[in-house]
Structure formats: structure tokens, C-alpha cells
């Protein structure tokens, strides 16, 4: 279950909205976060719909596990200073 992992982000965004008094202040953050959550699921669904079997997808994921983790790590490291300096 992932509810505890994703729930904190929603609570923070609701906090932004409540402190500023209008929904548009947190709406952009909410859209970006939801895109980040939904995009991988949509891409995976599209790949399977185009003919790749779930077994092939799993094989690809296992074969490229290190590259996927490196890309994820680089993305998080790139976001860290932006968050620290409150640019996002």
C-alpha cells in the first residue's frame, strides 16, 4: 500500500492552499505531482496496449534496473537544490 508515501504530499499541498486562501497556489504543484504519479502508469499501459507483454515489460525493467535507478537519482539530485532554495 502506498497511501502513507503519497499522502504527505497531498497534505503539504492542502497546507499551501489553506495558508494562502486560494486553490490556485497549490494547483500547479498538485498537477505536477499527479503527472509524476500518473505518467509512468500511463506509459506502461500504452506500452502494453501496443503489444508488449507484461512479461517483456518485466524483463526490460529487470535488465535496465541500474539505469532506471541512476536516472531517478540524478533527477532527485537535480530537484534538491531547487527545493532547498525554494525555486519550486
Q: Work out the pLDDT band at 4, boundaries 50, 70, 90.
A: low
pLDDT at 3 exceeding the cut of 70:
no
Q: What's residue 56's pLDDT?
A: 92
Domain segments of the chain as ranges: 1-51, 53-88
Rounded Cα–Cα distance for residues 84 and 36 (Å): 20
Look at the pTM and tell me if it is higher than 0.85.
no
The 10s digit of each residue's pLDDT in 14-66 is 887 778 777 776 788 788 888 888 888 888 889 889 998 999 989 988 999 99
Q: Could you tell me if residue 22 is left (phi over 0), alpha (psi between -120 and 50 degrees) or otherwise beta?
A: beta
pLDDT at 1 exceeding the cut of 60:
no
Amino acid at each position: 500500500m502506498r497511501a502513507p508515501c503519497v499522502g504527505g504530499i497531498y497534505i503539504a499541498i492542502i497546507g499551501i492552499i489553506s495558508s494562502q486562501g486560494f486553490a490556485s497556489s497549490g494547483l500547479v504543484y498538485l498537477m505536477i505531482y499527479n503527472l509524476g504519479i500518473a505518467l509512468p502508469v500511463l506509459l506502461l499501459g500504452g506500452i502494453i496496449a501496443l503489444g508488449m507483454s507484461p512479461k517483456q515489460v518485466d524483463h526490460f525493467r529487470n535488465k535496465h534496473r541500474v539505469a532506471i535507478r541512476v536516472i531517478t537519482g540524478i533527477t532527485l539530485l537535480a530537484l534538491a537544490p531547487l527545493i532547498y532554495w525554494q525555486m519550486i
